[in-house]
Amino acid sequence: MKRRFFLQLIATNSGFLVLGESLVGCTTVNSQVSNNMASSMPTNSSFFMPDEADPHLCTWMAFSASADIWGGEYVTDVQNNLAKIARTIANYEPVKMLVRQEDYDIALAKCGSKVELIIASFDDLWMRDTGPVFVVNEEGDKAGIDFNFNGWGNKQYHDRDAEVAQFVAQKSGVPLINTKLVFEGGGVEVDGRGTAIVTESCIINDNRNPGWTKADCEEELKVLLGLRKIIWLPGLKGADITDGHTDFYARFTSPRVVVAGYDPDPQSVDHEVTKKNIEILRSQTDANGNQLEVAILEGPTKIRSGYDWDDFAAGYINFYVINGAVIAPEFGDRKADHQAKETLARLFPDRDIIQLNIDEIAAGGGGIHCTTQQEPLI
């Protein structure tokens, strides 16, 4: 899949990406953004990022993928996967789907009338990373953080995706909080009560934040997301385009409870890091001093024919929690799929557990959570 081959295609000394036969310029956005919606929030603003399981106003998504990025042969199947996710979510909460003008008719046909389509300009479908991270406060205010998306460290062209956070904030009618930190929504997991899990490999990385120390990143995240404690996982630089996002390793399911992904294949690049993650999480407490309870979601040992390559994201941890349900992948491994569903049902007893075949999106190295961004209800 082309998206995951960017790690090998970067012309590191030229500041350009090699895309097929052409060179594509890459704009790095790593300083404060100025726009007429921007709001300078004081450091004691009391904003915090709520738990994903808290009520949503809606889910934001982006329809379709660039043929330049994914390869033309995959676009239709990716569209079908996105539409399937959107239609499923729309049974539980509103979905607002960004769509290019030229894709509007096909998006309407595939997504149906329950999904709201919004004309926009963007590069790729990963709303978790390009969209704003929404925060709220106890006074009933809401804002969106623009984390200066830079194509996961200039691994992919992103001029239009760099503007998605501002666009979505404007459409949501909320002020935009600016920061000099470069980050993505998939890199952080919160319990909504002051605790976060973050991978070092993603944020403490010169391809995003040159010169920033771990302490610098922690201080900024605590202010922006209303955190009192960050649990750091090592992650894995360079193994995938994201440099090891948290939402493929560990997720909060309720206060004091974390579910961690485990890759059982000893030959996999993620085997040792997932073992280390579990060890770290079992030794940790949350911001209130409560010992974490760690559940395990073991990945499948087999996948459907035609998808057996290293970049395929074969894990269940990238599920998405919505109003009344949890949307998770299935990979055709009957035993592992069933075990994952049972584990999620135990962890989310009051929600429907729905598994979807999203093989084409997984083939691009992502999952359901990666394609979505929740806007909290206040």
Q: Is the separation of the CB atoms in 94 and 116 below 8 Å?
A: yes
> Other C-beta atoms within 10 Å of 244: how many?
24
Would residue 370 show up in a list of annotated catalytic residues for this protein?
Answer: yes
If DSSP codes are grouped into helix, strand and coil, which group holds residue 362? helix
Q: Which of 351, 282, 358 is nearest to 318 (CA)?
A: 358
Q: Which of 26, 111, 202, 370 is catalytic?
A: 370
Per 3-state DSSP, the chain is made up of helix, strand and coil in percentages (nearest 5) of 30, 25, 45
Residues 6 or more apart whose Cβ sits within 8 Å of residue 156: 3, 6, 17, 26, 69, 123, 124, 241
Q: Does the CA dihedral 97-101-107-111 come out positive or negative?
A: positive
Q: Is the separation of the CB atoms in 130 and 161 below 8 Å?
A: yes
**What DSSP character marks residue 378?**
-
Q: Is the separation of the CB atoms in 303 and 311 below 8 Å?
A: no
Q: Quick one: which H or E segment has residue 81?
A: helix 75-90
If DSSP codes are grouped into helix, strand and coil, which group holds residue 101? helix
> Other C-beta atoms within 10 Å of 75: how many?
18
Q: Which of 211, 78, 207, 210 is nearest to 155 (CA)?
A: 207
Alpha-carbon distance 228 to 251, whole Å? 17
Q: Is the separation of the CB atoms in 327 and 319 below 8 Å?
A: yes
CA 203 from centroid of its chain's CA atoms? 14
DSSP string, 161-223: GGGHHHHHHHHHT-PEEE-S----GGGEEE-SSSEEEEEHHHHS-TTT-TT--HHHHHHHHHH
Q: What residues are annotated to the active site?
A: 370
